Structure 1
Amino acid sequence: MKARMESPAMLVPDAMQALQSLGKALFTSAEQTGIPSRTLFLAYLRASQLNGDSVCVELHSRNALAAGESAERLLAVSAWRDTRYFDDAERAALALSEAVTRLQERVDPVPDDIFNEAARHFEVQALATLIAGIATANLWNRLNVSTRQIVPVSKSN
């Protein structure tokens, strides 16, 4: 397998720096607002799974593991509704991630029940951070999927 081209984030002047700055701002905001980084990684992982972005699935899985996430919970993210692994706030973040990622699938893409459940668990700035983070994950997914970016295989794989 081979990528169609180098990532647009690498080719567009200053894009990578801007995207990395956005990522840092999101994690700084998450820390300030009390969103566990593990929750962000779960939301990003779910968006990446839905979008078929193998690069980001691996990246967010590795980052979540480094942040203390368990392998069992990561393996269960794709079936989060049917497992006991996630608390109510994480479930709200995962539902919001799915809704924001699947905008085209509903007349009301992010229904009130999903938004209100997330708002019940996250204060306004935290919710803004979560939404901006999910949108950023989707941006990366679209860059990677459209150009068929490939996960580098390490020698240990």
Structure 2
Amino acid sequence: MKARMNHPAFVLPGTFDALQALSKTLENTGLPDSTVHLVHLRASQVNGCSFCVEMHTKEAVEAGESVERLFAVSAWRESLRFSDAERAALALTEAATRIADRPDAVSDEVWDTAADHYDEKQLAALIMQIATINVWNRINATIQQPAGVAPGE
């Protein structure tokens, strides 16, 4: 399997650097790294981005995340492996990723639950993490970037 085209982030000058700069602003926000890994993985699963599912699973394992929790992300609602705060982040991830699936994209219930667990800076970081992974997922899904192959190879 081969991507349809060279990765747009490398085709357009400065695009990769801009996306990396955005990601850099999301460091040291108080949002736990483990939550970021879960959010990246869940959005990538929802969006069917195999490249990002593989990459973020590997990153999470390297950061010390348990394989059992990573296996459970796709069915997080039925798993006892996640804290209430992580569940709130995963619910917000799904709502913000599937915005066209319901008239009220992010319900007050989902929002209020997330706001109960995260302060304003953490919520801002969580929203930006969700938005950023969705950008990568949509690019990779559109060009059919295969897992196991780095963009540009």
Question: TM-score scaled to structure 1, two decimals?
Answer: 0.92
Structure-1 residue corresponding to 2:111: 115
Structure-2 residue corresponding to 1:83: 79
Structure-2 residue corresponding to 1:2: 2
Gaps of 5+ in 2: none
CA deviation map 1:99-148 (0-9, x unaligned): 00000000000000001100100000100000011000000000000000
CA deviation map 1:83-114 (0-9, x unaligned): 10000000000000000000000000000000
User: Within 1, Cα distance between the matches of 2:99 and 2:7?
Assistant: 24
Question: Runs ≥4 in structure 1, deviation > 4 angstroms?
Answer: none
User: Within 1, Cα distance between the matches of 2:27 and 2:130?
Assistant: 12
User: Within 2, Cα distance between the matches of 1:62 and 1:120?
Assistant: 30
Structure-2 residue corresponding to 1:65: 61
Q: Could you tell me how far 1:81 is from its partner in structure 2?
A: 0.2
1:41 aligns with 2:37: yes
User: Within 1, Cα distance between the matches of 2:112 and 2:67?
Assistant: 29
User: Within 2, Cα distance between the matches of 1:103 and 1:94?
Assistant: 14
Q: Could you tell me whether the CA contact under 8 Å between 1:73 and 1:85 is conserved in 2?
A: yes
Q: Could you tell me how far 1:28 is from its partner in structure 2?
A: 2.9
Structure-2 residue corresponding to 1:146: 142
Gaps of 5+ in 1: none
Structure-2 residue corresponding to 1:95: 91
Report the AA paired with residue 39 of structure 1.
Answer: T
Q: Could you tell me how far 1:67 is from its partner in structure 2?
A: 1.4
User: Within 1, Cα distance between the matches of 2:111 and 2:90?
Assistant: 11
Structure-1 residue corresponding to 2:21: 21
Structure-2 residue corresponding to 1:52: 48
User: Within 2, Cα distance between the matches of 1:126 and 1:69?
Assistant: 20
Report the AA paired with residue 9 of structure 2.
Answer: A
Percent sequence identity is 52
Aligned length: 150
Q: Could you tell me how far 1:27 is from its partner in structure 2?
A: 2.2
Q: Could you tell me how far 1:66 is from its partner in structure 2?
A: 1.4
Question: TM-score scaled to structure 2, two decimals?
Answer: 0.95
User: Within 1, Cα distance between the matches of 2:79 and 2:6?
Assistant: 38
CA deviation map 1:9-42 (0-9, x unaligned): 111110001111111211232xxx2x21110110
SS of corresponding position for 2:64: coil
